[in-house]
Amino acid sequence: MDHSSSLEKLLRSVAITLVLVFFLFPIVWIFLMSLQTNETILRIPPSIAFTPIIDNYTALITGQLRTAAGSLQLNFMQNMFNSVLLSVCSVALSLVLGVPAAYAFARFKFRLGEDIAFTLLSFRFAPALLVLLPLSLYFKTLGLTNTYIGLIWVYQLICLPLILWIVRGYFEDISPDIEHAYRIAGNSWWRTFTRISIPLAKPGIAAAGLLAFIFAWNNFVFALILASADKQPVTVGALAFVTASGIQYGQIAAAIIISITPTLALALYAQRYLVEGLSMGAVKG
Amino acid sequence: MAELDITRVDKIYHSRKGDVHAVKALDLVVKPGEIVALLGSSGCGKTSTLRMIAGFEEVSNGAITLGGKAIHALPPAARGVAMAFEAYSLYPPLTIGENMSFALKSSRLPQAEQEKRVKDMAEMLEIADILNKYPSSVSGGQQQRASLGRALVRDAGLYLLDEPMGQLEPQLRAVLRGRIKHYLREHNCTTILVTHDQTEANALADRIAVMEGGVLQQYATPAELKARPANLFTGTFIGEPPMNVFTADVSATAERVSFTVEGGTTLSYPASDMSEALRGRLAKTPRIALGIRPHALQLGEGPVKGKVTACQWLGDQTHVAVDVAGRTVVSVSQERVSRPTGSDVSLNVAARDLHLFDAASGNAIAHGGTLA
Residues 35-94, chain B, touching A (beta carbon < 8 A): 54-56, 75-77, 79, 81-83, 85, 87, 89-93
Residues of chain B with CATH 3.40.50.300: 4-228
Burial class of residue B52 (count of CB atoms within 10 Å of its CB; 0-12, 13-18, 19+): buried
Residue A177 to residue B89, Cβ atoms within 8 A: yes
- The whole-number pLDDT of residue B133 equals 95
* Single-letter amino acid code for the residue at B85: F
Inter-residue contact A63 to A71 (CB < 8 Å): no
Residue A175 to residue B103, Cβ atoms within 8 A: no
Residue B75 to residue A183, Cβ atoms within 8 A: yes
- The whole-number pLDDT of residue A64 equals 79
- The whole-number pLDDT of residue B78 equals 92
- The whole-number pLDDT of residue A130 equals 83
Q: How many CA atoms lie within 13 A of B177 on its CB side?
A: 21
Structurally, at CATH architecture level, domain B244-371 sits in Beta Barrel (2.40)
Task: For residue A177, list chain B residues with Cβ-Cβ distance below 8 A.
Answer: 85, 87, 89
Find residue B330's DSSP bridge partners: B321
pLDDT band, very low/low/confident/very high, at A68 (cuts 50, 70, 90): low
- The whole-number pLDDT of residue A278 equals 65
Which stretches of chain B drop beneath a pLDDT of 70?
none
**Nearest CB partner across the interface for B54, out of A178, A182, A184:** A184
**A113 at B interface, C-beta within 8 A:** no
Strands B158-162 and B81-84 come out as parallel
Q: Which of B50, B91, B134 to mutate to test the interface with A (most CBs of A within 10 A)?
A: B91
Nearest-CA residue of chain A relative to B162?
A177
Inter-residue contact A159 to A94 (CB < 8 Å): yes
Q: 3-class SS at B93? A: coil
CATH 3.40.50.300 fits B4-228, yes or no: yes
What would the pLDDT profile of B268-308 be if each residue is shown by its tens digit? 999 899 998 998 888 888 899 999 999 999 988 888 889 99
Quickly count: other Cβ atoms within 10 Å of residue A237's Cβ: 23
Find residue B270's DSSP bridge partners: B256
pLDDT band, very low/low/confident/very high, at A2 (cuts 50, 70, 90): low
Task: For residue B103, list chain A residues with Cβ-Cβ distance below 8 A.
Answer: 185
Residue B77 to residue A180, Cβ atoms within 8 A: no
- The whole-number pLDDT of residue B217 equals 96
pLDDT band, very low/low/confident/very high, at A4 (cuts 50, 70, 90): low
Structurally, at CATH architecture level, domain A76-282 sits in Orthogonal Bundle (1.10)
- The whole-number pLDDT of residue A283 equals 38
- The whole-number pLDDT of residue A213 equals 93
What would the pLDDT profile of A206-219 be if each residue is shown by its tens digit? 889 999 999 999 99
Residue A180 to residue B56, Cβ atoms within 8 A: yes
Nearest-CA residue of chain B relative to A195?
B91
Rounded to whole angstroms, the Cα distance separating A29 from A65 reads: 22
Name the minimum distance, in Å, from the CA of B172 to any CA of chain A.
Answer: 25
CA distances A10 to A15, A18, A22, A24, A41, Å, are 9, 12, 18, 21, 36
- The whole-number pLDDT of residue B117 equals 93
Domain spans of chain A? Answer: 2-73, 76-282
Alpha helices (H) in chain B, listed in sequence order? 46-54, 96-102, 111-124, 140-152, 170-186, 198-204, 222-227, 232-237, 276-283
pLDDT band, very low/low/confident/very high, at A187 (cuts 50, 70, 90): confident
Residues of chain B with CATH 2.40.50.140: 244-371
Find residue B304's DSSP bridge partners: B347
Task: For residue A202, list chain B residues with Cβ-Cβ distance below 8 A.
Answer: none
Name the minimum distance, in Å, from the CA of B77 to any CA of chain A.
Answer: 4
In this predicted structure, the answer to whether residue A281 has a pLDDT above a threshold of 60 is: no
pLDDT band, very low/low/confident/very high, at A285 (cuts 50, 70, 90): very low
